Structure 1
Amino acid sequence: MTTGHTAPPGVIDLLGLLAYAELGSFFRLADDAGLAPSLRSKGQLAALAATEQAHYQALHDRLAELGVDPEEAMEPFVAPLDLWHERTEPQSWLESLVKTYVGDGIAGDFYRKVAELADEETRILVEGVMAETGRAEFVAETVRAALEEDPKLAGRLSLWARRLVGEALSQAQAVAVSRPELATLLAGKAPEAREGSDAGIGDLAAVSRMFASLTDRHAGRLKAMGLAE
C-alpha cells in the first residue's frame, strides 16, 4: 500500500466498505437479471447492475487518488459482508428482490449518515453513489404485482424483510466494534479525539443509537412493496 494519504482512517474505512458493498451489489443484480422471468425485468436489472459497477469504479478511483490500495481498503469488510449474504441467502427470485430493496435501503441510509460526518468531497461522492437509480421503484412495483397474483406471499415476505433488518444491524454493529476509526467517525468525533486502540463505550453507544434510527424508514419500504411491518 502507498503511504502518506491525508484522509482520516475512518474515511478510508467508509470508502473501502462502500466499495466492496457496491462490487457485491453488482454481482447480485447481474445474477438476478439472469433469473428474471421476463425480458423487461432482465433489461432493467442489467442496467441497475451496470450502474453499481460504475459506482464501484468511482470509489475505487477515489481510494487510489488518496494514495490507498483499494483492495487493501476493502479487505477488512470482505468477511463481515460475505457473512451477511451467507446468512440471508434468498430462496426465490422475489426474496432476492426484497433483500436488494431492504438491505440496500438500510445500507444506503447508513452510508449517507456516515458521509455527513466526513469531509465535503467524501460526502459528495457517497451521496452520488447512493443516489436513487430507479431500483426502488422497480422492486416495489414487481413485488406488489406478485402479491396481487398470490396474496399468500405477503406473510412470508414480511417475515423475510424483518429478518433482513435484524441481520443487517447485527453485522453493522460488529463492523463498528472491529473498526474503531470507523466507530469514531460514526460517533461524530474528530479523529484526534479517539484514544487507545479500541472503540470507546461512548462511541459504541452513539453508533447503537444511529443504527436504531436507521429502522425508521423500514416501515415505508415495506408499505411501498405492499408488505406489513
Structure 2
Amino acid sequence: MKSVLCSLLCLLSFCHALAGEAAKEVVTVGAEDDWAPYSSVVDRQAKGFAVDVVREAYALVGITVKFDVLPYSRCMAATKAGTLVACFDAVPNAMIAKDYLWPDLPLFTTHMNVYALADSKDSGMVARKLEGRTVGVERGYEYGDEFDLNTKIIRKIVDKNDQGFKMLLARRIEFMAAEERIANALFIRFPTEFGGKFKLVGTVATPGLFIAFSKTAPDSVRLLKKFNEGYAILRNSPRYRAIEAKWF
C-alpha cells in the first residue's frame, strides 16, 4: 500500500511539473539577421546584445521568447502587417512611429555615423552638409529624422552594410551611413579589406533603438506591457551591464 501511495505521489508530482511547463507562455519575436553585435544570425540562431536583452526581459515576467530571424525590412513589414508581434532594432522616427507601438525605454542608444575614405578632407558632416552628395544606406533602416526626411541627400540603397563600404572603396559613393558599433565590427571582421580604409567624418543622429510592437497582432498590447515590466527590472539590475560587457 505504501509503495502504491508513493507511486501515486510521484505521478502527481510529475504531472504537476508537466502542467507547469505547458503553462509557460511562449512568444515569437522578429530579430534582424545582419546587425551584429546587436542582432544577427549565427548558426541559424539569433545572437547579439539586443537578442539577450529581449529574451531576459521577458523571462523576468515568465515569458519564453523564440526568435524569427530575417532581414530587417521584412521583419518590420511582418510586424506592421500583424504576422509578427514585434521586431527589433528600430528607430521611431517620423516616417514609421505611427505604424507601431513603442516601449517606454530603448534597448540601447547609439551613434548613426557617416564614413568616408581615409584620404577624405570632409569633416563635421551632418544631414544638411550631405545634400547633393551620394550616401550609402542600408535598405529599410532609419538614421534619424534630419537625415531620413531630407530629400536632397542622394541615397544609394544597399542590402548589407558591407556592400555599402565596398561601394565606398570603389568610389561609387562618397559616404556610407552606418551605426557606430556595426561599422567597427565590420572593420575588425574584414581587416584586410576594410582595416584603415575609412574615416569617421560626421554623425547624423544619436537615437534610441527600440523593439517595435505591432498594432494589429493579437495580444500585442499586453505583450508590450509585459515587456515594459520585465525590461524595467532588467535595465535597473547589474545583469543589463553584464550583457553590455559581454557584447561591447
What TM-score results when the alignment is normalised by the length of structure 2?
0.28
Give TM-score, length-normalised by structure 1. 0.29
Higher strand share: 2
- Computing the radius of gyration over CA atoms, which structure comes out larger, 1 or 2? 2
Higher RCO by CA contacts (8 Å cutoff, separation 6 or greater): 2
